[in-house]
Amino acid sequence: MTDLQVLFQPGKIGSLTLKNRIVKSPQSTALSNMDGTVSQRSINHYKRLAEGGAGLILTEYTYIDEDASKAIHCQLGNTRREHVPGMGWLVDEVHAMGAKIGMQLAHGGRQKFLGTAPIKSASTSSWDEVENQYGVKPVPMTIAEIEQVMEDFGDAALRCFNARFDLVEVHAGHGYLITNFLSPFTNDRTDDYGGSFENRIRLLIGIVRNIRSKIPVSMPLSIRLSVVDYEEGGITIDETVELCRRLEAEGVDVLHCSGGHHATMQYEVSPWYMPRALHRWGFEQIRQAVSIPVIGSGSIVAPEVAADIIASGAADFISLGRPLLADPEWPNKARTGRTFEIVPCIRCNDGCLHRGLNVGRSAGCTVNPSMGEEYRYPVEPAATSKRVAVVGAGPAGLNAAKVLADRGHQVTLFEGKALGGQLNTAVRHDMKFDLRALLRHLVHEVERRSGIQVVKQAVTAAQLASGAV
């Protein structure tokens, strides 16, 4: 097994030194205020992520104009001077926890989940989910609007610098505006921004040049892109590799490589039935083609997978999205060899998406009830220690026993069958490796606590009440 300490060697992005190779990937939370300003919930979320030990925290995608760039409810905003104080507050709180922080800038393009007009894109090519739900189709951007978007990205980057962010990132992947121009599938323009590869990359190159003209060269610039969009007639790996060479020549400091978009969602936010590290084949090719660092992303769930990517030279850094929602302490636990203590992301996409953002709520997490409610429900010692019986050692029973023991109670856990309950049935198929990791974690957490006695028998309420057990 690869030594996990490879993840905890310092690394450099331009002039910025990070304490380790772990990056928190941008991930929408809908924790901000309605006007895009930073909320206390946002602060608590990012502060907790920084406290967990990641070297670099990247904010969720942030809209850059008051026209059509905002994509989702309660999205973080960076469009005017009034956003800067909250941005600065966020920076200071993350720095106080020992991490660096970058802001990701984005334009929603045709993937405007709000469904409100105008939806502006490279062409009229629509994302079916938005059009079917809201009946609003994209409007092709005019040349003047394209040039204004370049300015808006540059102005937003300058606000990042003024707020003292350590890095700025442009989202050029996952089916948002810039990808709408990059992909021949969604770009059928006949002017200077469509057709050839040179024309389709013109918007992104213009954004990079505008940003570089407005922020000091000492502030690192990252570009997040999809290695491919996994769509027939879309972006190819050969074009992406060449694009990355051009971006390096334009002064980009790091390439953050993911894959897919919302019409190929199983690649963008890959669920349990997809492979881990599924974009590795692509970011390995990019790493070989450029001399600037590469951040590898995409279902890099387990520490051993992350360590192998770094040790092999496939990427210089790894980024974790959902795994750090499931357990912000992932870096600290991996660094100290406590890998079984990591609450594993099971890639269900349920708390964060299906029961969260997709229905208009803030993001949550199936295996971490504190996600989005950080510091609100601390597990603290109880005023009085009691003897507590927990009947049934399924996932809920195991977790309840753990929390009760951590509060100082003496817990007796009754289970007539194997610890884990129905999880033992659920993990039988070979592809259920994420659930298998959850089962292993939950059982480990009970077994390592001296305050929990496991009794391998089934009991009834009447037996407990009579003192027969």
Residue 468 has what pLDDT? 80
pLDDT in tens, 441-454: 999 999 999 999 99
Distance CA 175, CA 177 (A): 7
Residue 214 has what pLDDT? 98
Enumerate the H helices of 201-329 as residue ranges: 202-214, 237-249, 265-268, 280-289, 303-312, 322-326
The total number of structural domains that make up the chain: 2
Residue 198 burial (10 A CB sphere; 0-12, 13-18, 19+): exposed
Distance CA 267, CA 264 (A): 6
Beta strands at 452-455 and 294-297: parallel, antiparallel or unpaired: unpaired
Given a contact cutoff of 8 angstroms between Cβ atoms, the answer to whether 128 and 110 are in contact is no
Q: Could you list the residue range(s) of the whole structural domain that residue 340 is in?
A: 4-359
State how far the alpha carbon of 468 is from the alpha carbons of 84, 420, 433, 458, 465, in Å.
64, 25, 39, 12, 8
- Map residue 170 onto helix, strand or coil: strand
217 is a domain residue:
yes
- Map residue 271 onto helix, strand or coil: coil
Shared-domain flag, residues 44 and 123: yes
Tell me, what CATH number does 91's domain have? 3.20.20.70
**148: which residues sit within 8 A by CB, 6+ positions away?**
65
Vertex 353: Cα angle to 299 and 70 (nearest 5): 100
Given a contact cutoff of 8 angstroms between Cβ atoms, the answer to whether 80 and 47 are in contact is no
- Smallest CA-to-CA distance from 373 within 328, 412, 341 is with 328
pLDDT in tens, 310-350: 999 999 999 999 999 999 999 999 999 999 999 999 999 99
**176: which residues sit within 8 A by CB, 6+ positions away?**
61, 71, 106, 107, 108, 109, 111, 261
Residue 399 has what pLDDT? 97
- Band of the pLDDT at 197, cuts 50, 70, 90? very high
- Map residue 455 onto helix, strand or coil: strand
Shared-domain flag, residues 151 and 27: yes
376 is a domain residue:
no
Mean pLDDT of 202-206: 98
- Smallest CA-to-CA distance from 442 within 328, 335, 301, 344 is with 344
Residue 469 has what pLDDT? 83
420 is a domain residue:
yes
Q: Which of 343, 359, 375 lies at the terminal end of a domain, its last residue?
A: 359
State how far the alpha carbon of 332 is from the alpha carbons of 54, 66, 328, 336, in Å.
8, 39, 9, 6
Task: Give yes or no: 176 in active site.
Answer: yes
The tokens describing 314, both together, are 């496939």
The H or E element that residue 156 is part of is: helix 143-162
Shared-domain flag, residues 332 and 433: no
370 is a domain residue:
no
Shared-domain flag, residues 101 and 188: yes
Provide the sign of the torsion angle of the four alpha carbons 150, 151, 156, 161, taken in this order: positive
- Band of the pLDDT at 467, cuts 50, 70, 90? confident
366 is a domain residue:
no
Instruction: Tally the residues of the chain.
Output: 469
pLDDT in tens, 224-233: 999 999 999 9
Average pLDDT over all residues of the chain:
96
Residue 430 has what pLDDT? 87
Shared-domain flag, residues 192 and 310: yes
Shared-domain flag, residues 47 and 185: yes
Residue 425 has what pLDDT? 95
Shared-domain flag, residues 202 and 349: yes
54 is a domain residue:
yes
Is the per-residue pLDDT at 2 higher than 90?
no
Enumerate the β-bridge partners of residue 140.
121
- CB count within 10 Å of CB 241 equals 16
- pTM score above 0.75: yes
pLDDT in tens, 403-418: 999 999 999 999 999 9
Shared-domain flag, residues 302 and 405: no
425 is a domain residue:
yes
Which one from 176, 193, 230, 267 is the annotated catalytic residue? 176
Shared-domain flag, residues 416 and 343: no
Shared-domain flag, residues 142 and 16: yes
Q: Please, what is the end-to-end C-alpha distance for the chain in angstroms? A: 44
Mean pLDDT of 424-439: 94
Half-sphere exposure of 174 (CA within 13 A, CB side): 22
Mean pLDDT of 374-395: 96
Shared-domain flag, residues 335 and 269: yes
In this structure, which amino acid lies at residue 34?
M
- Band of the pLDDT at 157, cuts 50, 70, 90? very high
- Band of the pLDDT at 98, cuts 50, 70, 90? very high
Q: What percent of the chain has pLDDT over 90?
A: 96
- Map residue 410 onto helix, strand or coil: strand
What are phi and psi for residue 351, nearest 5 degrees?
-65, -40
- CB count within 10 Å of CB 406 equals 16
- Band of the pLDDT at 141, cuts 50, 70, 90? very high
pLDDT in tens, 246-305: 999 999 999 999 999 989 999 999 999 999 999 999 999 999 999 999 999 999 999 999
Distance CA 77, CA 108 (A): 12
DSSP 8-class letter at 449: -
Is the per-residue pLDDT at 1 higher than 80?
no
